Amino acid sequence: MAKTGTTTTQDLRSAIERSGYYPALVSEAVESAVGPEPISSYLVHQETTFDSNEVRRHVTVLVLTPTRFVVSHTDEQSGDAGSPAVPFATTSTESVRLDRIGSVVLSRMVANPETYTPGTLPREVVLTIGWGAVQRLDLEPAGCSDPNCEADHGYTGSATADDLSLRVSEAGDGPETVAQALVFARALSDATIDNGPRA
């Protein structure tokens, strides 16, 4: 869930419990990463994937504090060769200073754009946040306008910061989650306005 304003750890814990995905494990990891800072906004998103004969769940928790952006991922995994009947979950958290956030990109998909009314929820949103931990390079051979040229012109391409990309849809997650993703994106974008140059 996403929320702005005065938020307590209990509000965040309740949102994690509503997701129904190992709430004690997820809550402990997130609360440990957030520490004593107040919570400005948060978003809890669960997705289910199908891998051969297995159903796997993944939950992402995003938290905004006055100084940091905290992201937590928890993945469900099947047992290993030593304990095939014992399921596992892996939880990771990352804390990013707000002055490290380089981009907050929000893509919206709306139906019937010709009759769009301001304030109508998009059918789907994709929130992409970049802070420089992951860079994606898209390269292709460079060329020139001479069709008979056989010279090596090297490569051309682009570098994109793509540390986190989260897709939320009305059909898969419900309209409330889409609205919550919009609130969180706005809060994070607002929090990064006056960060100044990055070191």
| DSSP codes joined into one string, 88-135 | EEEEEEEEEEGGG--EEEEEEE-S-GGG--TTPPPSEEEEEEE-SS-E
Q: Please, what is the average pLDDT of the chain? A: 83
Distance in angstroms (rounded) separating the CA atoms of residues 145 and 150: 11
199 pLDDT more than 50: no
- Choice among 65-69, 126-130, 145-149 with the minimum mean pLDDT: 145-149
Look at residue 19 and give its three-state secondary structure.
Answer: helix
User: Residues 173, 73, 42, 98: is their CA dihedral positive or negative?
Assistant: negative
What are the φ and ψ backbone dihedral angles of 114, each rounded to 5 degrees? -70, -20
b/e map 45-54, b = 16+ CB within 10 Å: bbeeeeeeee
Give the rounded percent of residues in the chain with a pLDDT score beyond 70.
79
Given a contact cutoff of 8 angstroms between Cβ atoms, the answer to whether 26 and 57 are in contact is no
pLDDT for 4 equals 43
- What's the whole-model pTM score? 0.78
Q: Has residue 198 got a pLDDT over 70?
A: no
pLDDT band at 106 (very low <50, low <70, confident <90, very high): very high
User: Tokens representing 112?
Assistant: 């019937």
How much helix, strand and coil, in percent to the nearest 5, is found in the chain? 25, 40, 35
For residues 13 and 157, the model is more confident at 13
